[in-house]
Amino acid sequence: TDNKNRTTADIRRIFTKYGGSLGETGSVTWIFHQKGLVHIEKNNINEDKLLEVSLDGGAEDVSLQGDIYEVTTDPQKFESVKSLLEKENFKILKAELTKAPQSTVQIKDKKVAQKILGLMEALEEQEDVQNVYSNFDIPDEILDELA
């Protein structure tokens, strides 16, 4: 950003609006670790082949998330896994280094879930915010009610 003070004030306002507070720089870094993440289109995929190629390349996990296979890797193995998947002609929808939570917090209260989702949306809409990471897990039943 060109104006760090303005952006910090905007972020602080967003947190306050949703009942939170802005911590010191790096105060929650310990909650997250870096991961490689590759999204593969599900259509016409040989799941066994995807699993074999991914794990041979050093992937940590392959899981189905809706209509997308999610391949997670150690950051040092990200490029090699991605290259192997490309070489085998898997359709990569997204590939990035990201932050993943060490553990998640279950949100079982509908009002709390609504507040958290509002906070996330407001942060993502703030023009100077590049990435938003979280460690919450809202059950599908609650998400369906809020949709």
Mind spelling out the 3-state secondary structure of 88-145? CCCCEEEEEEEEEECCCEECCCHHHHHHHHHHHHHHHHCCCCCCCCCCEECCHHHHHH
Longest dimension (CA), the chain: 51
Q: Report percent pLDDT > 90 for the chain.
A: 87
- pLDDT-derived band of residue 1, with 50, 70 and 90 as boundaries? low
- Return d(Cα 58, Cα 80) in angstroms, integer: 8
Residue 107 CB partners (closer than 8 Å, separation 6+): 113, 116, 136, 137, 138, 139, 142
The structural domains of the chain, ordered by start, are 4-30+103-146 (3.30.70.980), 31-101 (3.30.70.980)
Q: Give residue 44's pLDDT.
A: 83
Altogether, the residues listed in the chain come to a count of: 147
Residue 8 CB partners (closer than 8 Å, separation 6+): 22
Amino acid of residue 92: I
pLDDT digits (tens, 9 = 90+) for 45-100: 899 999 999 999 999 999 999 899 999 999 999 999 999 999 999 999 999 999 99
Q: Is 25 exposed, middle or buried (0-12, 13-18, 19+ CB in 10 A)?
A: exposed
